[in-house]
């Protein structure tokens, strides 16, 4: 299994770690940095700890987060991506739903577009096709401002599968190759605790519904705090590690995390026990 992203092919025969780099002052996880030098140094630490991909985001998507302007987002992410692009063999992802930001990031050296809106703007699909970038298509119900206002589903697994099927078709109609696509069920994005637990419990069903590989992002999320009682996101590392190991066991090919070293060990142990799905 592989993901093609511009001139790079990412071998997913072994799961990969995607490190989260929030170039924002208001990240939910408490790890946001706004200075370019600090952001590059932080990325370097994650790479040293085992991250193969760095996911750069310039706008917080925490519940209730206020959107930022296109110009502000560009000013945050482009200088960082230009610096990271100098690092040999590093794969860079841009976490944005704005086509103009994605285009500038890809020109600066990014390889993957991580779109939390699941290509809701068709121009994003067309951009990915034109540039040969990789893309993460994520499910989200509503927007970051509204997504946690009483989200409801008749069957959350079936509805997430149906959404992703439609968005994959949009991508392919725009000319995106199947091996450029990765899927994300959007844990915590318009879901209650029970919705999240059901999706993770039924992850094999989700994965088996597609030929495209899956990315799972649960790192430090509020669902872990709800279960463990850990209020501060930085205290949710152990819960994250547990879910990382289970997700890899069930077939996730990329895990998006803040605490790279701990989750790298979880991936290694899950692989040793269960091997490739």
For the chain, 277 residues long, the average pLDDT of each consecutive 10-residue run is 95 96 70 79 96 93 74 93 95 96 97 96 97 96 60 90 96 97 95 95 97 97 95 95 97 97 97 81
DSSP bridge partners of 2:
11
* Residue tagged active-site, from 141, 191, 256, 264: 256
> What is the reported pLDDT for 152?
82
Q: What is the pLDDT of residue 239?
A: 97
| Residue 253 annotated as catalytic | no
221 is catalytic: yes
In the prediction, which pLDDT does 151 show? 72
The whole-model pTM stands at 0.91
Q: Would you state the pLDDT for residue 24? A: 82
**119's tokens:** 């290509």
pLDDT confidence of residue 65? 64
Q: How far apart are the C-alpha atoms of 14 and 49, rounded to whole Å?
A: 16
Q: Which residues pair with 8 in a beta bridge?
A: 5
Q: Tell me, what's the pLDDT at 153?
A: 87
Cα distance between residue 179 and residue 187, in whole Å: 23
Question: How many whole angstroms separate alpha carbon 243 and alpha carbon 130?
Answer: 36
Annotated active-site residue in 16, 98, 167, 221: 221
Long-range contacts of residues 70-79, Cβ cutoff 8 Å, at least 24 apart: 70/98, 70/100, 70/101, 73/98, 73/101, 74/100, 74/101, 74/104, 76/23, 76/24, 76/34, 77/23, 77/101, 77/105, 78/104, 78/105, 78/108, 79/36
């Amino acid at each position: 299994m592989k993901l093609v992203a511009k001139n790079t092919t990412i071998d997913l025969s072994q799961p990969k770690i995607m490190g989260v780099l929030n170039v924002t002052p208001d990240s939910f996880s408490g790890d946001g940095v706004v200075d370019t030098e600090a952001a590059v140094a932080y990325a370097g630490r994650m790479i040293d700890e085992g991250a193969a991909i760095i996911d750069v985001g310039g706008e917080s998507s925490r519940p209730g987060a206020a959107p930022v302007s296109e110009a502000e987002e560009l000013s945050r992410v482009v200088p960082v991506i230009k610096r990271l692009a100098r690092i040999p063999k590093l794969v860079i992802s841009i976490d944005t739903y704005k086509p103009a930001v994605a285009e500038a990031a890809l020109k600066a050296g990014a390889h993957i577009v991580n779109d939390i809106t699941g290509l809701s703007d068709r121009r994003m699909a067309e951009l990915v096709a034109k540039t040969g970038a990789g893309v993460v298509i994520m499910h989200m119900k509503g927007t970051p401002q509204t997504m946690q206002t009483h989200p409801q589903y008749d069957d959350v697994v079936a509805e997430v599968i149906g959404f992703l099927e439609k968005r994959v078709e949009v991508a392919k109609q725009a000319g995106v190759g199947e091996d450029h696509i990765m899927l994300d069920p959007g844990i915590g994005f318009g879901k209650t605790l029970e919705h999240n637990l059901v999706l993770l419990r039924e992850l094999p069903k989700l994965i088996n519904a597609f030929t495209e590989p899956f990315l799972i992002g649960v790192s430090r999320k509020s669902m872990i705090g709800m279960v463990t009682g850990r209020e501060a996101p930085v205290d949710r590392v152990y819960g994250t590690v547990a879910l990382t190991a289970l997700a890899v066991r069930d077939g996730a090919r990329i895990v998006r995390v803040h605490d790279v070293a701990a989750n790298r060990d979880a991936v290694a142990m899950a692989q040793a026990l269960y091997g490739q799905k």
